[in-house]
């Protein structure tokens, strides 16, 4: 059995859960992608390109290195592999990446509308603002560059203009939770916008103050990884 099997199984389980929840936009397509960082290696397990999630097995999943080279797997890795790798290279706190086409976040993507801090329990998890990543064709260097430019805000969720959403986290389970929190808040926000009334947001400086809790956890994860690196 492959040494990556447990990681493949995790990615498969989360992918099927997202499919069942409708977070990939359809239940019979191959939109969206999921990856997890292999602990102690510059390697990532990621979903394959163009395959119906409902038919996937753990053996179908791909393992790639940080240069995008295939280590293991019978299929081509996701066309968005470069975007996932850019996140891991630029956000040392991140161990999992999920790209979805969830409905309400995608609605905001086509009106180019970032989402402000609306609820304290969501803000402390995903960040004080869900920013719009400018459009880039799927799998393109433009999209990779545009995502990379936004990562320094250290938030866990982003809206990809005219595309979908990107959620990152310290684990697959947490990233999956952030997908749900993003959709919950996006659904409420879209419906509130449709009412045409003034929308209240969390008062300043509460959003940034709340997110300091999450940043502290991110710093701890970065420190943990640095402690595992060989000296010299």
Domain ranges of the chain: 5-228
Residue 231's pLDDT is 53
Q: What is the CATH number of domain 5-228?
A: 3.40.225.10
**What is the distance between the alpha carbons of residues 125 and 130, in angstroms, rounded to a whole number?**
11
Instruction: Give the pLDDT mean for 23-37.
Output: 87
Which is nearest to 114 in space by CA: 198, 185, 43? 185
Instruction: Give the pLDDT mean for 193-222.
Output: 96
The pLDDT mean for the chain works out to 95
Share of residues in the chain with pLDDT > 70 (%):
98
Give tens-digit pLDDT for 73-121: 999 999 999 999 999 999 999 999 999 999 999 999 999 999 999 999 9
* CA angle (82, 222, 144) in 5-degree steps: 15
pLDDT band at 58 (very low <50, low <70, confident <90, very high): very high
Helices (H), the chain: 5-20, 81-90, 103-110, 120-126, 141-150, 172-195, 206-228
Are the beta carbons of 208 and 215 closer than 8 angstroms?
Answer: no
- The torsion of the CA quartet 16, 147, 36, 67, rounded to 10 degrees, works out to 130
Omega prior to 205 cis, within 30 of 0: yes
Query: Distance of alpha carbon 211 from its chain centroid, rounded?
Result: 18
Q: Is 22 left (phi over 0), alpha (psi -120 to 50) or beta?
A: left
Output the pTM of the full model.
0.96
Residue 25's pLDDT is 85
Residue 230's pLDDT is 63
Residue 109's pLDDT is 97
Are the beta carbons of 114 and 129 closer than 8 angstroms?
Answer: yes
Residues in the chain, total: 232
Give tens-digit pLDDT for 128-178: 999 999 999 999 999 999 999 999 999 999 999 999 999 999 999 999 999
Query: Distance of alpha carbon 175 from its chain centroid, rounded?
Result: 6
* Active site amino acids: 80
Residue 28's pLDDT is 73
- What letter does residue 12 receive in the DSSP assignment? H
Kindly tell me the number of DSSP H helices and DSSP E strands found in the chain: 7, 9
- Distances in whole angstroms, Cα of residue 68 to Cα of each of 99, 125, 206, 220: 17, 30, 40, 28
Q: Which residue has the tokens 């710093």?
A: 219
Q: At 131, give phi and psi (nearest 5°).
A: -85, 160
pLDDT reading at 29 higher than 80: no
């Amino acid at each position: 059995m492959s040494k990556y099997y447990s990681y493949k199984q995790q990615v498969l389980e989360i992918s099927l859960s997202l499919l069942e929840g409708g977070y990939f936009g359809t239940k019979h397509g191959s939109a969206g992608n999921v990856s997890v960082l292999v602990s102690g290696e510059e390697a990532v397990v990621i979903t394959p390109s163009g395959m119906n999630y409902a038919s996937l097995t753990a053996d179908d999943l791909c393992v790639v290195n940080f240069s995008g080279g295939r280590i293991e797997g019978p299929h081509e890795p996701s066309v968005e592999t470069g975007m996932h790798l850019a996140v891991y290279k630029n956000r040392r706190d991140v161990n999992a990446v999920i790209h979805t086409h969830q409905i309400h976040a995608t609605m905001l993507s086509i009106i180019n509308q970032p989402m402000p801090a609306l609820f304290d329990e969501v803000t402390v998890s995903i960040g004080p603002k869900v920013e719009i990543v400018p459009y880039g064709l799927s799998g393109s260097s433009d999209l990779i560059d545009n995502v990379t430019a936004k990562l320094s805000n250290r938030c866990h969720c982003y809206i990809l203009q005219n595309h979908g959403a990107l959620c990152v986290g310290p684990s697959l389970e947490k990233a999956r939770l952030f997908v749900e929190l993003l959709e919950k808040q996006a659904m409420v926000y879209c419906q509130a916008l449709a009412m045409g009334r003034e929308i209240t947001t969390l008062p300043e400086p509460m959003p940034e103050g709340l997110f300091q809790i999450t940043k502290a956890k991110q710093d701890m994860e970065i420190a943990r990884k640095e402690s595992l690196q060989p000296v010299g």
